[in-house]
Amino acid sequence: MQQLNPSEISEIIKSRIDNLNVSSEAQNEGTIVSVSDGIIRIHGLDDVMYGEMIEFDGGVYGMALNLERDSVGAVVLGDYQSLAEGQKARCTGRVLEVPVGPELEGRVVDALGNPIDGKGPVNAALTDAIEKVAPGVIERQSVDQPVQIGLKAIDAMVPIGRGQRELIIGDRQIGKTAIAVDAIINQKGSGIKCVYVAIGQKAASVAAVVRKLEEHGAMEHTIVVAATASDPAAMQFLAPFAGCSMGEYYRDRGQDALIIYDDLTKQAWAYRQISLLLKRPPGREAYPGDVFYLHSRLLERAARVNPTYVEKFTNGEVKGKTGSLTALPVIETQAGDVSAFVPTNVISITDGQIFLEADMFNAGVRPAMNAGISVSRVGGAAQTKIIKKLSGGIRTALAQYRELAAFSQFASDLDEATKAQLDHGERVTELMKQKQYSPQSIAEMGVMVYAADNGYLQAVEVSKIGDFEAALLSYMKAEHADLMTQINASGDYNDDIAAGFKAALDKFIATQTW
């Protein structure tokens, strides 16, 4: 038996019949000349705009991408098997739009905003164009509020601010998506809405991410936009723009949002495919000439906007609030080669990168972040005070350790100072390890970093650091809950807190229970 879907209620159908605008306006029409791999060439359509939706027979839509003298090149959004040479194509006068708004939270949609999670229609009140110009210079504000990722290594060494673009880059199977998912999970209760855009991934991987988010209660504040590997290249090319428009909804209304593009390499591939089929000249690595612009215009839309912009956008409804869209684009490298075309492009566009390394991953350091070449160019201003004060030593300790570790492999006996440095570095490296799906609060990070900075780790065997951390955190939670809540609330660091940490740690170390 065929199932009735929720939009088939007589009342709804009646109102739609009633509201249908059937005025017979003049329309521009053309003829399909060729159909190839999702690319359609159309003769005619003199009035078509760049990026305009084109309607084909059978309710299939396309998007005009090449406007030439005698023909129009368009990509088909959906199934192109039903199209054939000689069929008519009509202008619609509309650019591509997707639904936006809070109705999408908790949903999984495709690149056009159609639900694909089987939970019925998305009744979004608003739609918005997917291609928009980023806010201008006047409308922006500098980044000074943090986005807590919940991973010690990132929050301590490459802090991310609201409105920043921080690239996550590394080889396949190295934990890029894991960082992104942890970041989303940690936004629970922070008020930051998340958009996870999956591009060219296996449908199974997308389903796994959605399931993990649901398990950790993070789906309520998250929109998942999925263009899987089996979707047409046009969808994979459009998905990030669609997700960006959904994120901008929050930015423009004085709220904060976090968007993850997982990953932009696949989007560049999809765009390369479309461009080559449209017969645009290939350039380096066969990418078209505007592949840089493809990513720069997308990432430029992740920004922090000032209260004036928000006020103007909402017609005075929201006053005195800045809005932000933080972007975490993901790029996959081949065998650690960051000097390939797309990685260099995106590195230069973003405000810093988190570089994940295969060697570290294999050595058991997870997240496998290379602290030496991972940077955050603007996040320092946004870092929580306590983490900023305490984490200064971590980076240097790791940098010195790496240098010494390479050197000391060949040395038979080392002086005391070097040994101490190696010892400390080893422990800090161990401390930076963190399990997946277990984000830490500011206070938890604070106490761990304090312990490392003040030599408390020297009393602990390297292999026991993980146990020490777990024991210390549960001890702090049980015995010093007030201190922890106070830190989490304010994020400040002062002598009182330092004294509190010292007293707690001295007592804990004395118990030797880890």
Binding site for another protein (CB under 8 A): 13, 16-17, 20, 22, 24-30, 33, 41, 43-47, 59, 68-71, 90
Nearer to another protein, 90 or 251 (CB): 90
Task: Return the half-sphere exposure (C-beta side, CA atoms, 13 A cut-off) of residue 428.
Answer: 28
DSSP one-letter string for 389-402: HHTHHHHHHHHHHH
Tokens encoding 269: 């591939």
Contact present, 322 and 142 (Cβ < 8 Å):
no
Nearer to another protein, 72 or 147 (CB): 72
Contact present, 90 and 28 (Cβ < 8 Å):
yes
How far is the C-alpha of 481 from the C-alpha of 503, rounded, in Å? Answer: 14
Tell me the longest C-alpha to C-alpha distance in the chain: 90
Please report the sign of the dihedral spanned by the C-alpha atoms of residue 88, residue 93, residue 98, residue 99.
negative
Strands 52-56 and 88-95: what pairing?
antiparallel
Q: At closest approach, how far in Å is the CB of 114 from another protein? A: 10
How far is the C-alpha of 235 from the C-alpha of 242, rounded, in Å? Answer: 10
Secondary structure letter of residue 454 according to DSSP = T
Q: At closest approach, how far in Å is the CB of 388 from another protein? A: 51
- For 151, 211, 390, 416, 460, the CA distances from 430, given in Å and listed in that order, are 13, 30, 17, 21, 11
Nearer to another protein, 19 or 339 (CB): 19
Q: What are 98's strand-pairing partners? A: 128
Nearer to another protein, 30 or 329 (CB): 30
Q: At closest approach, how far in Å is the CB of 104 from another protein? A: 17
Contact present, 312 and 254 (Cβ < 8 Å):
no
Q: At closest approach, how far in Å is the CB of 70 from another protein? A: 4
Q: At closest approach, how far in Å is the CB of 230 from another protein? A: 23
How far is the C-alpha of 104 from the C-alpha of 298, rounded, in Å? Answer: 21
Q: Please indicate whether residue 377 is annotated as part of the active site.
A: yes
Nearer to another protein, 109 or 431 (CB): 109
**Which among 253, 297, 377, 395 is annotated as catalytic?**
377
Q: At closest approach, how far in Å is the CB of 42 from another protein? A: 8
How far is the C-alpha of 150 from the C-alpha of 442, rounded, in Å? Answer: 8
How far is the C-alpha of 197 from the C-alpha of 222, rounded, in Å? Answer: 10
Nearer to another protein, 29 or 103 (CB): 29
Which active-site residues does the annotation give?
Answer: 377
